[in-house]
Amino acid sequence: MQQPFSASIAVADGVVMRPLHIDDLDAAHALSVEVQWPHRPMDWHIASSLGQGIVAERDGRVIGTGMRWKWGDRHATLGMVIVARRYQGQRIGMRIMETLLDGLHDRSISLHATTEGRGLYERLGFEATGDVRQHQGIASPAPLMAFLPGERLRPAGRNDPPRLAALDTDALGMPRDKALRVMMDQGEMVVLDRDTEAVGFAVMRRFGRGLVIGPVIAPDLHGAKALIAHFSRLASGKFLRIDVQAKGGLVEWVEDLGMRRVAMAVPMRKGAPPQPGRVHSFALLSQSLG
C-alpha cells in the first residue's frame, strides 16, 4: 500500500474521514456487495496494495470508501468510491473525493464515472473524455484469426516485463509498472510479437464473478482481436468480463463472443491529459486503475 493519508478529519455530523487499513477491507467489501459491485475480498486486497485508501466512518461503522493510485510523478487515478445507501445524499461522497484530491493538484487525475456519480465529478472540475462499455457473459470460442506475416502470440516470459511496461506507458501516457507486475502474478499474460518484437499484450485473471480480460494493449484493432480471441477460447464456457473503449472498434465483435453489454462508464479527467504514443489501450486493466 502506498503511503497512507496522515490524519483523521471529523465534522459536525460525526462522520470521520481516516486512512483505510487492512482491517477495514471486510467492511469495504460489504459496502461493494450492498451496491452490487462484483469485487471479491481479494480484489479489494489487490487494489489497496497498489494505492492509498480512505474510509468515511460514523459511530465506528465504515459507511464510505475511496482510493487513489499515483502513477509516476505526474498522474493519478481515483476509484472504489462508495457510500452506503442509507447515507447517500448527505455530501459524504463529495467529502471523500475532496480528501482523495488533497495533494494531487500538480497531477493529471483520471477516473471512470458511473451515471450516478458523474454529476459529482463534474462539480469537482472533471471533464468527460470518452465512453467505456462493460461486457460480460458466458464466453464463446472466438473464430480462428489469420495471423499477419511475422506475427505470433506467446506466453509472457521473465524477460518481458520491462518491454511490456514500456508498451503500457506508451498506450496510457502514464507508468503502471507495479500494477502490471501484480497482474502478471495474478493471472495469465500473452504477448503479441511481430517480427520477433513484442508490440502488444493482454492479461486474463480472476475477478468478481469469474474471469476478466484486461488490459489489452495493441498497435491496432487486428492485434487487439488476436489477443482477446486467444483468451476467449481459453475461457469458453466460463463467465468472462471485458471493459472496452467504445471507439476502439471492438463492441459488436465482443458481443459476438457471448459477452453482452451490461453497463457503461464515462472516462473523466482533471488536469493536463497524459500523452499516449503509437500503441493503444483497447480494454481497461480495471475501471479504477485505468
Q: What is the DSSP letter of 98?
A: H
- Return the pLDDT at 273: 83
Provide φ and ψ at 154, rounded to 5°.
Answer: -150, 160
- Return the pLDDT at 4: 56
- Return the pLDDT at 12: 54
- Return the pLDDT at 268: 96
d(CA 125, CA 114): 16
**Cβ distance 182 to 161 under 8 Å?**
no
Q: Which three cell numbers stand for residue 234?
A: 481459453
**How many other CB atoms are there within 10 angstroms of residue 252's CB atom?**
8
Distance from chain centroid for Cα 117: 16
- Return the pLDDT at 8: 61
d(CA 70, CA 178): 11
- Helix ranges (H only) for the chain are 25-34, 41-50, 92-101, 118-123, 161-172, 177-186, 221-234, 251-256
d(CA 205, CA 128): 28
Residue whose C-alpha is closest to residue 152's, from 219, 226, 220, 216: 226
pTM, 2 dp? 0.92
**Cβ distance 46 to 1 under 8 Å?**
no
Sole residue written with cell 518484437? 197
- Return the pLDDT at 7: 53
d(CA 109, CA 82): 18
Q: Which residue segments constitute the domains of the chain, with CATH numbers given? A: 9-106 (3.40.630.30), 134-283 (3.40.630.90)
d(CA 268, CA 277): 19
Residue whose C-alpha is closest to residue 199's, from 178, 175, 223: 223
Q: Which residues pair with 80 in a beta bridge?
A: none
Half-sphere exposure of 267 (CA within 13 A, CB side): 21
pLDDT digits (tens), the chain, 290 positions: 454 565 566 565 789 999 999 999 999 999 999 999 999 999 999 999 999 999 999 999 999 999 999 999 999 999 999 999 999 999 999 999 999 999 999 999 999 998 889 999 999 999 999 999 999 999 988 888 889 999 999 999 989 999 999 999 999 999 999 999 998 888 999 999 999 999 999 999 999 999 999 999 999 999 999 999 999 999 999 999 999 998 889 999 999 888 999 999 999 999 988 888 889 999 999 999 98
- Burial label, 78 (beta-carbon count in 10 A; 0-12, 13-18, 19+): buried
Q: Residue 232: left if φ>0, alpha if ψ -120 to 50, beta else—which one? A: alpha
Sole residue written with cell 476502439? 248
Half-sphere exposure of 84 (CA within 13 A, CB side): 16
